[in-house]
Chain A
Amino acid sequence: MDKRVAHIGKTRINSIAYSSMFEIGDANTFTPTSRVIAVQKEGGVETDEGFEFDQYELFSQEPSNVPDSLTVQQKNYHHNPNIHVENIDVKGISASSIAQLGSLNHIDSVSRIKHIRILEKEQNQNDLIE
């Protein structure tokens, strides 16, 4: 398939993190993976010991099967070979994501995020209204 050319005026991106990318130009494939265990502990976290990936099912689970999509014969007619965008403002790109100015043939991205909260004492809803 013919690819169009992107013409961009101005781009502003604040931050990029964790297996993410900002790309100017064309690419063929993009296959990022990110595995995250985010621990929030009351009083602060001193060590990452005891938080191994193999401990949590989330990191070994396979996505449920998506039924095969039917084959579609697609024809593209680019009557105008250009794409114009004047201004782009992105605050953040994170966890196996991408912002690209240009064409990208194939994308296969995976992100796994496990959040853990550790509280010293269970908080009671009624304690708050006093």
Chain B
Amino acid sequence: MNYEVHNWGLNVGNVEITGVASSSIFLIGDNETIKLTSFYDTPPDSYIVGSLVPLRHPTIEEGTDNG
């Protein structure tokens, strides 16, 4: 298989990244080979999406001082 790449101009304004983590890469330039391996083991709680913060009791009326 023949693969031909034409790199014309590359101009970027802003790059904003929160995190590059667990065997990851952010590269501005050229590269030949990349091999990224990551093993991860975490308790199921960490994957549950949602809040465990106690919810306000439904019977409390609005404007009531709950403090």
Which residues of A are in contact with B by a Cβ distance under 8 Å?
1-4, 6, 8, 20, 26, 56, 58-59, 61, 63, 70-80, 82-117, 128-130
Q: Among the interface residues B9, B17, B52, which one has the most CB atoms of the partner chain A within 10 A?
A: B17
Chain A residues with Cβ below 8 Å from B43 are 115-117
CA distance A110 to B52 in the complex (A): 33
CA distance A67 to B4 in the complex (A): 23
Interface size class of B (residues with CB under 8 A): 35 or more
Partner of A113, one of B9, B18, B39, B52: B39
Nearest opposing residue in chain B for A77, CB measure? B6
* Chain A binding surface, main DSSP class: strand
Partner of A115, one of B1, B13, B41: B41
Chain A residues with Cβ below 8 Å from B45 are 117
Shortest B14–chain A CB gap in Å is: 5
Nearest opposing residue in chain B for A78, CB measure? B7
Shortest A112–chain B CB gap in Å is: 4
CA distance A82 to B14 in the complex (A): 17
Chain B residues with Cβ below 8 Å from A20 are 20
Partner of A104, one of B6, B14, B31, B46: B31
> A107 to B7, Cβ gap below 8 A?
no
> A97 to B31, Cβ gap below 8 A?
no
3 closest A-B pairs (Cβ-Cβ)?
A103-B29, A111-B23, A115-B42
Partner of A110, one of B16, B37, B46: B37
CA distance A38 to B5 in the complex (A): 43
> B1 to A92, Cβ gap below 8 A?
no
Chain A residues with Cβ below 8 Å from B49 are none
CA distance A78 to B4 in the complex (A): 11
Chain A residues with Cβ below 8 Å from B62 are none
